Structure 1
Amino acid sequence: MALHMIKLCVGCDTVEELLAWHAEERPGRPWVMHTRQTPKRADELVTGGSLYRVFKGVILCRQKILAVDTVGEGAGARCEVTLDAECVRVAPTPRRAFQGWRYLDGKDAPPDLESEIGGEIPPELARQLREAGAW
């Protein structure tokens, strides 16, 4: 089972806002997420892992991890996680706040919306159905 990464999305309240920000601020550039610490299990993340994003306490989407690289040396070293441009919506799943990023086991990852229900559903409706226990 694949190993994933989960990270809070700060500054955007919805997936649409995140996509619009990237299109406006970084057009034509690869999608790169920056973080301080390089994951020790980077090899596992690159072989089928995704970055799951948390918006306002709910996991809403994921992007496939293509590469994990350390940039710089010593105290100035940082990590760059290169992501696939496709943003896949997942079943809205509540997640408490945390700092930085965390590993997410494949068995704990929310399913893609398309694979779970066979089509598009508004994210707010999906969240309400999950909270009500109807989905």
Structure 2
Amino acid sequence: MPLHMIKLVVGCDGIEDLLAWRNAHSRPGEPWILRTRQTPKRAAEMTDGGSVYRVFRGVILCRQRILAIDTVGEGPNARCEVTLDPDLVRVAPTPRRAFQGWRYLEARDAPPDLDEEAFGEIPPELARQLREAGAW
């Protein structure tokens, strides 16, 4: 079973904001790299099919597959770079409380991918309310 990472997205209200930020701050063909302070001790499990699940305003909305995890620098200047697949996969909107940094997310606790053909484009707030009501 792959191990996933969950991380808050600060400064973006939704997936479209994240993509707009990405387009404004990167060059075409540049890999999508998530930088964080701590390198996961269980990195090998995460690169074996794991994803980064993104939390926007208290709701998990999407994930990106983890391609590589590298530590750059040495000593107190060491940082972690997580290389991500550029494709974002929408998931069933799932509430998540705020936390700092990132956390491991076991596969059994990860929200399922959305079948966009079946559901179309559902506003995240409506999807959250449907999940809370047990209707989705």
Same fold (TM > 0.5):
yes
Residue 31 of structure 1: how far off its partner (Å): 0.5
| Count of aligned pairs | 134
Letter in 2 for 1:11: G
CA distance in 2, matches of 1:10, 1:125: 21
For normalisation by structure 2, the TM-score amounts to 0.94
**Alignment-mate amino acid for residue 10 of structure 1:** V
Aligned to 2:13: 13
Partners of 1:128 and 1:24 in 2: how far apart? 32
CA distance in 2, matches of 1:44, 1:111: 19
- Mapped to 1, the partners of 2:9 and 2:120 lie a distance apart of 22
Give the 5 Å matches for 1:14-93: 14-28=14-28, 29-93=30-94
* Contact 1:113-1:120 within 8 A present in 2 as well: no
5+ long unaligned stretches in structure 1 = none
Q: Structure 2 stretches of 5 or more lacking a match?
A: none
Runs of 4+ in 1 over 3 A off after TM superposition: none
Q: Could you say what the CA RMSD is over the residues aligned between the two structures, in angstroms? A: 1.3
Q: Find the aligned partners of 2:118 and 2:43 in 1 and give their Cα distance.
A: 32
The secondary structure found in structure 2 opposite 1:44 is helix
Tell me the CA shift for residue 38 of structure 1. Answer: 0.3
Instruction: Give the TM-score taking structure 1 as reference length.
Output: 0.94
Q: How far 1:88 sits from its partner (Å)? A: 0.4
Q: CA offsets, 1:77-100, max 9 Å, x none?
A: 000000000000000000011111
CA shift, 1:121, in A, is 3.4
Q: CA deviation at 1:24?
A: 1.5
1:103 is matched with which residue?
A: 104
For the residues of structure 2 that align with 1:90 and 1:27, how far apart are their CA atoms?
Answer: 27
Q: Does 1:128 align with 2:132?
A: no
